[in-house]
Amino acid sequence: MLDYNKPLPKVNADNKEFWAGCKSHELRFQKCKGCGHIRWPASIICPMCYSRDLQWIVASGKGKVYTFAVYHVAYHRGFENDLPYTVADVELEEGPHILSNIVGCSHHEVRCDMPVVLSWEDITEEFSLPKFRPLS
């Protein structure tokens, strides 16, 4: 954890609540109070109805692999020891799609529509990353 050498999240006013949730191992999303749309990434207005009225909800952490890619080349030296690794677009039960890694299995086992569940990775004192592993 102390020698984490990958890029760190950039916190801003919109995503501050998201990253605070991750630190508490809660995957939080904005839900529009106007139309009920659950959105990601976080923003000040709803992309569906332009309402600024929102609440934060905690996602179940369950979803499925929408699509994925297996990286055999590290485009940042911090990822060299992870090769090959899987980057997936995970479709959450609540609707949002989130880009993350599939962990806890070989990249040969990853399939589209594969059920997955959250697996937190505590990378520094301040940050925990939401990753996903097969639901079994």
Q: What does 71-108 look like in DSSP terms, one character per residue?
A: E-S-SSGGGGGG-SEEEEEEEETTS-EEEEEE-SS-GG
Residue 134 makes contact with Zn ion by CB under 5 A: no
List the x/- string, 13-32, binding to Zn ion by CB under 5 A. Answer: -------------------x
Binding Zn ion (rule: CB under 5 A), the pick from 23, 31, 37, 133 is 37
Contact partners, residue 112, CB within 8 Å, separation at least 6: 65, 66, 67, 68
CB of 62 to Zn ion, least distance (A): 24
Strands 62-71 and 85-92, how do they pair? antiparallel
Strands 85-92 and 38-39, how do they pair? unpaired
Name the segment binding Zn ion (CB under 5 A); options: 39-47, 69-77, 107-115, 125-133.
Answer: 39-47
Residue 54 makes contact with Zn ion by CB under 5 A: no
CB of 102 to Zn ion, least distance (A): 31
Name the segment binding Zn ion (CB under 5 A); options: 36-44, 59-67, 94-102, 112-120.
Answer: 36-44
Q: Nearer to Zn ion by C-beta: 49 or 112?
A: 49
Q: How far is CA 87 from the centre of its chain?
A: 11
Cα–Cα distance, 68 to 107 (Å, whole number): 10
